[in-house]
Amino acid sequence: MKNQSKNIFRRDFLKGLGAIPLLGFFTFKFRDVIAVEAKKKHKDYLRLLGIESLEAPKVRLLPSTGTGTNRIRIGLIGNGWRGDQLLQSFGFIHPNQVKENTVNGKYNEWLTTFLAQEDLNVEFAGVCDTFTLHANRGLEISMNDVRPGGGRGTTKPVKIYPTYREMIESKEIDAVVIATPDHWHAPIAIAAAKAGKHVFLEKPMTHSIEEAIELRNTIKSTGVVFQLGHENRQQMSFRIARELIQKGVLGTVSMIQTFTNRNGPYGAWIRKRKYDDQGNPDNINWKEFLGNTPWHEFDPKRYFNWHRFSEYGTGFTGNDFSHQYDCINQVMRVGIPESVVAMGGQYYYKNCGDMPDVLNAIFSYPKKGLTLTYDGTLKNGIYRENYIMGSEAAMYLDLGIKIFQDDYSERYKDNGMDSSEPLYLYTGGTEVDAVSSATARAYIKGGYGSTYIDGKVIDASFLHIKEWIDAIRNQTKTSCNIDEGFDEAVTFNLANLAYVNNKKVLWDPLAEKVTMV
């Protein structure tokens, strides 16, 4: 009896220590595991890179400049799909967008975010478009009072100008936004600058090198505030990348690779939009669209898919490489290459224009000791970041940044890191959702959608336009000014010349002349 109760007591007593063996195992083993874990989990990226701190992420949003009565009157030239997007960045949307984003009388997340956008204090004062429906849509947009700042009760119908000529001559317009097909970019921007209007010009800057030279000279001589529409200038990851490269984290950069990968007609700029079916010679000013290009009978394909016709568009390089190039140029200050070769062809989308589907271009910079390449295909949609390859490390750059040390790096050889693990990681504060199309996802991931600044996720196009508006008011500089635009326009146009002529193209920076060999 006594023994039994002793046993029960012992069993009972031991019950309370049930978890102790496990704790023993934990204590015995955790130090080995933790050494690996702690190192992996809390890497001090900046110390690994040999950098004390980074300045770029400390940048704060600039305060509004539009608080007083200094309202800027904007004229929009070209209210197609991009014009529409730009108006949104200015704070103007179509009443239908309000309807579509209102559920049970309440604004949804998208509309609420839009209304919280800073009121830039601009007036949508003029619009013109060769397509009447687009111009009328501008009028409908101007009448919508649901906008950031509550519209301040100043809604008035936008004036529709027959062409850009009347608009730039008007005393009721202070600045113009140009979102036309590429062949009209330079002629309109030059005329507007000469008329003293500030210019926001969509990318790519010009259709030819000659136009780029003339536009640059005009902007410089007139002194108007110019911004080229590469909104990725506002991308935080590019700013951080620039600082990291300036501080030497990659060592000597010998090669930069850029890419476009798209698959399907939409990605190949064969697009059918809402109003395209309604376009006809009665509501499209066909002659005005053609401008100085060779005469053709009215052709909706040419009008709505102008990107694919070299008379109007700038092809692969102007449409997409210009983005990648502007990313690299702001990060690395590569400038214009000394020579360019390009090859490719139109193999798949043969019934619309002369734009190639596959293109490879090599941009050579012997004085800088590096080569920049561009590989584009419209028949494969795999995603690739821009790669910047240095003697010490390689950088994968888009909305985020990944840096991998080189196995043969002198600088990083003692830091104990595996070259398959990133030495530095910046995620950009935004993740791409799974709903958007592949082309849209690549666009967002590429850094052209939103950026992360001052603890907030903000649309890059809005910031880019704000920068232009603030620069007009404060006479400050824009980030994608005429010199930056000149680099972009000359570089991609060199590739187009090389492709079309199937020759190596040389650039003489002093004479600003092209020779082909």
Partner 1 sequence: MKNDNIAQSYSNWQIFSLTFLRVLIGWHFLYEGFVKLFSSPSWSAESYLAGSVGPFAPVFKDIASDPAWLIVVNYLNIWGLILIGFSLFIGLFARPFKLFGIVLLSLYYLAYPPFAALVILTPVEGSYWIVNKNLIEMAALFVLFLFPTSGITGIDRYFQKKS
Q: Which stretch binds partner 1 (CB under 8 A): 23-31, 73-81, 184-192, 195-203?
A: 23-31
Distance CA 85, CA 202 (A): 11
Neighbours of 370 (CB within 10 A): 20
Q: Please report which helix (H) or strand (E) contains residue 69, including its range.
A: none
Residues 53-92, mask of contacts with partner 1 (x by CB under 8 A): ----------------------------------------
**What would you measure as the largest C-alpha separation in the chain, in angstroms?**
115
- Answer for the pair 491, 363: CB distance below 8 angstroms, yes or no: yes
Q: Which stretch binds partner 1 (CB under 8 A): 21-29, 156-164, 187-195, 468-476?
A: 21-29
Q: Cβ 430 to partner 1, closest distance in Å?
A: 6
Residues 457-486, mask of contacts with partner 1 (x by CB under 8 A): x-----------------------------
Comparing CB distances to partner 1, the nearer of 30 and 81 is 30
Q: Cβ 188 to partner 1, closest distance in Å?
A: 37
> Under the criterion CB under 8 A, does residue 34 sit at the interface with partner 1?
yes
Instruction: Candidates 6, 47, 152, 477: give the one binding partner 1 (CB under 8 A).
Output: 47
> Under the criterion CB under 8 A, does residue 103 sit at the interface with partner 1?
no
Q: Which two tokens stand for residue 332?
A: 């690395």
Comparing CB distances to partner 1, the nearer of 109 and 414 is 109
Q: Cβ 455 to partner 1, closest distance in Å?
A: 6
Distance CA 252, CA 239 (A): 19
Instruction: Candidates 5, 16, 69, 295: give the one binding partner 1 (CB under 8 A).
Output: 16
Comparing CB distances to partner 1, the nearer of 47 and 413 is 47
> Under the criterion CB under 8 A, does residue 408 sit at the interface with partner 1?
no
Range 445-451 contact pairs with CB under 8 angstroms and sequence separation of 24 or more:
445/383, 445/398, 445/399, 446/232, 446/323, 446/398, 446/399, 447/232, 447/235, 447/237, 447/238, 447/327, 447/398, 447/399, 448/231, 448/232, 448/235, 448/323, 449/399, 451/234, 451/235, 451/236, 451/237, 451/399
Write out the E strands in 104-225.
106-107, 122-128, 159-160, 175-178, 198-201
> Under the criterion CB under 8 A, does residue 8 sit at the interface with partner 1?
no
Comparing CB distances to partner 1, the nearer of 114 and 269 is 114
Q: Which two tokens stand for residue 516?
A: 């082909």
Which residues fall within 8 angstroms of residue 164, CB to CB, at 6 or more apart?
A: 77, 128, 176, 188, 191, 192
Comparing CB distances to partner 1, the nearer of 269 and 426 is 426
Distance CA 474, CA 392 (A): 42
Residue 182's identity, in one-letter code, is D
- Answer for the pair 332, 389: CB distance below 8 angstroms, yes or no: no
Instruction: Candidates 6, 8, 26, 508: give the one binding partner 1 (CB under 8 A).
Output: 26
Distance CA 145, CA 157 (A): 11
> Under the criterion CB under 8 A, does residue 167 sit at the interface with partner 1?
no
> Under the criterion CB under 8 A, does residue 44 sit at the interface with partner 1?
yes
Q: Which of residues 105-144 bind partner 1 (CB under 8 A)?
A: 109
What's the gap between Cα 176 and its chain centre? 21
Helical H segments across 78-184, by residue range:
81-90, 95-100, 109-115, 132-142, 164-169
Q: Which stretch binds partner 1 (CB under 8 A): 97-105, 196-204, 271-279, 422-430?
A: 422-430
> Under the criterion CB under 8 A, does residue 41 sit at the interface with partner 1?
yes
Instruction: Candidates 7, 8, 10, 20: give the one binding partner 1 (CB under 8 A).
Output: 20
Comparing CB distances to partner 1, the nearer of 16 and 68 is 16
Q: Which of residues 432-461 bind partner 1 (CB under 8 A)?
A: 432-433, 455, 457
Q: Which two tokens stand for residue 348?
A: 């798949």
- Output phi, psi for 213, to 5 deg: -65, -45
Q: Please report which helix (H) or strand (E) contains residue 417, including its range.
A: none
- Output phi, psi for 92, to 5 deg: -125, 125
Q: Which stretch binds partner 1 (CB under 8 A): 27-35, 74-82, 175-183, 406-414?
A: 27-35
Q: Which two tokens stand for residue 97?
A: 């967008």
> Under the criterion CB under 8 A, does residue 18 sit at the interface with partner 1?
yes
Instruction: Candidates 1, 19, 511, 517: give the one binding partner 1 (CB under 8 A).
Output: 19
Size of the site for partner 1 (CB under 8 A): 29
Instruction: Candidates 8, 35, 59, 61: give the one binding partner 1 (CB under 8 A).
Output: 35
Distance CA 506, CA 517 (A): 8
Instruction: Residue 391: name the closest of 420, 362, 370, 415 by CA.
Output: 370
Q: Cβ 437 to partner 1, closest distance in Å?
A: 16
Q: Which stretch binds partner 1 (CB under 8 A): 37-45, 160-168, 360-368, 476-484?
A: 37-45
Q: Cβ 459 to partner 1, closest distance in Å?
A: 13
Q: Distance between terminal CA atoms of the chain? A: 109
Instruction: Candidates 430, 478, 479, 491: give the one binding partner 1 (CB under 8 A).
Output: 430
Comparing CB distances to partner 1, the nearer of 109 and 282 is 109
Q: Which two tokens stand for residue 156?
A: 């008035």
Instruction: Candidates 55, 100, 145, 431: give the one binding partner 1 (CB under 8 A).
Output: 431
Q: Are strands 393-397 and 386-390 parallel, antiparallel or unpaired?
A: antiparallel
> Under the criterion CB under 8 A, does residue 511 sit at the interface with partner 1?
no
Instruction: Enumerate binding residues for partner 1 (CB under 8 A).
Output: 15-20, 22-23, 26, 30-31, 34-35, 37-39, 41-42, 44, 47, 109, 427, 429-433, 455, 457
